[in-house]
Amino acid sequence: MKDNIAVVGLQWGDEGKGKVVDLLASDMDIIARCQGGANAGHTVIVGDKKYVLHLIPSGIIHQEKICYIGNGVVLDPFGLLEELRILDKESIDYKGRLFVSASANLVLPYHKLLDQIYEERRGGAPLGTTLRGIGPAYRDKVARCGIRLSDIFDDKILLEKLNDIKTLRAQIFEPYQDDERCDYDAVFDKVCSIREAFAPMLTNVSSEMHRLDAEGKKILFEGAQGALLDVDHGTYPYATSSNTTVGGILTGLGIGPRMVGTVVGVVKAYCTRVGAGPFPTELTEETGELLREKGGEYGATTGRPRRTGWLDLVALQHACRINGVDQLAITKLDVLDSFETIRVCLSYRIDSELVDTFPVDPYALEKVEPVYRDFPGWKSDTSSITRFGHLPQEAQNYIRFIADETGTEIKLVSTGAARAETILV
């Protein structure tokens, strides 16, 4: 098998992929992002510095790594330039180390306005999107009226495409005449102004991946969001608009399955979700609040408080299956340090019947009743522990149980945000 590694989220995002990618990246040469956009918020803590990246692969923090953003990403070019300014401020040199697929579709200002309009028009049941224009940009991509990065270098193509979109969207934007996000002349000028910045980063990511792989370079594929937000296999319509599972890596970078290598799934020791949608093990009372406070569960992109709940093994087994997960990275174990009892959902009760497969119908998921197994808590501080065998027995049992039930190996356990707060198994 290849030495390449794919890192994917196994819940509703925010599993701590940023830290896992940062740790694993030290042994890799290349880091490539394949899907999603600036809806992601990958937090990496190095020493006393905290970096929150949305589009740029977390690997950029390692000064010698080369990073790629694939065609499957919807790229907010202005957001990307803002992130580059943060790197400039931190003296992280990215020149010659960051490349973007020429065929990545762009998120433009009017996509953000559309995201807002669609959410408002859902009446009482908005999806709770990040309002970063992700859904509308993927919608344009699939409808074949998106603007790709390569298009911005040609006035004629750019104008033609913007004119088509103007015609298509005339009705919906009618009440927003004064909003500069749908002022196409302003969008044209704004896009033209970034050509110079993007020209050196433009590349054919698919052929680069094949070249680098053939040269024996080790590639880390960095997933964004999590399996339960996958547009096909997640809790649709309460999902994001991309394939957040391994399939998204293949199409989002233009590679074949054998290039992927080992699939590392990242899972929190409990569950969180932001935005609307079913969440069977959600805790809405005191215990949920405790998890939120101890885990600092506030969105890295929007600052919204995250919903919290116990680990859901039905959902996790589904996520492992659809990704072909080989190894697990279990994060935020320390958040459970003070709990007397830790619960894990083993199956769902649906109309007095026990079910251990994840329902394909999210409306059915809303009605399931989780069936729990209780584990005794370890009630001690795990944050400075760096060896699996030094963890309290109860914590080891909890982790072994997760590995056994999912048929995976444990790659690492994270017990804090810092790089050092990690147990490599």
Least spacing, CB of residue 331 vs ligand IMP, in Å: 14
H and E: helices and strands count for the chain: 14, 20
- What does the block give as tokens for 196? 């110079």
Query: Residue 408 contacts by C-beta under 8 Å, 6 or more apart in sequence?
Result: 265, 320, 325, 326, 327, 328
Tell me whether residue 12 or residue 110 sits nearer to ligand IMP (CB atom). Answer: 12
Tell me whether residue 132 or residue 169 sits nearer to ligand IMP (CB atom). Answer: 132
Least spacing, CB of residue 14 vs ligand IMP, in Å: 5
- What does the block give as tokens for 313? 């093994």
Measured CA to CA in angstroms, residue 51 lies from 15, 86, 224, 246 at distances of 16, 9, 16, 26
Least spacing, CB of residue 41 vs ligand IMP, in Å: 6
Query: Residue 33 contacts by C-beta under 8 Å, 6 or more apart in sequence?
Result: 55, 57, 67, 68, 69, 70, 73, 222, 224, 252
Tell me whether residue 19 or residue 97 sits nearer to ligand IMP (CB atom). Answer: 19
* Residue 186 C-beta-side C-alpha neighbours within 13 Å: 10
Tell me whether residue 125 or residue 420 sits nearer to ligand IMP (CB atom). Answer: 125
Least spacing, CB of residue 134 vs ligand IMP, in Å: 4
- The per-residue DSSP string of 35-66 comes to SB-TT--EEEEETTEEEEESSS-GGGGSTT-E
Which helix (H) or strand (E) segment holds residue 107: the answer is: none
Strands 49-53 and 5-9: what pairing? unpaired
CB 306 within 8 A of CB 272: yes
Least spacing, CB of residue 82 vs ligand IMP, in Å: 17
- What does the block give as tokens for 66? 């080369």
- CA 387, chain centre distance (Å): 28
Least spacing, CB of residue 109 vs ligand IMP, in Å: 16
Tell me whether residue 152 or residue 417 sits nearer to ligand IMP (CB atom). Answer: 417
Exposed / middle / buried, residue 40 (Cβ in 10 Å: 0-12, 13-18, 19+): buried
- What does the block give as tokens for 147? 């603007």
237 preceded by a cis bond (ω within 30 of 0): yes
Tell me whether residue 82 or residue 88 sits nearer to ligand IMP (CB atom). Answer: 82
Catalytic residue chosen out of the listed positions 22, 29, 42, 326:
42
Which of the 8 DSSP states describes residue 297? -
How many C-beta atoms surround the C-beta of residue 363 within 10 A? 9
Tell me whether residue 116 or residue 422 sits nearer to ligand IMP (CB atom). Answer: 116
Least spacing, CB of residue 241 vs ligand IMP, in Å: 6
Please report where in the chains the tokens 């072909």 appear, as a residue. Answer: 324
Nearest Cα neighbor of 76 from 128, 139, 137, 127 is 137
Least spacing, CB of residue 84 vs ligand IMP, in Å: 20
Query: Residue 148 contacts by C-beta under 8 Å, 6 or more apart in sequence?
Result: 102, 103, 104, 105, 106
Tell me whether residue 229 or residue 263 sits nearer to ligand IMP (CB atom). Answer: 229
- What would you report as the CA-atom Rg of the chain, rounded to the nearest whole angstrom? 22
Judge whether 14 counts as a catalytic residue: yes
- What does the block give as tokens for 399? 């982790």
Judge whether 189 counts as a catalytic residue: no
Q: Interface with ligand IMP by CB under 6 A: which residues?
A: 12-14, 39-41, 127-130, 132, 134-135, 224-225, 229, 240-241, 274-275
Active site residues: 14, 42
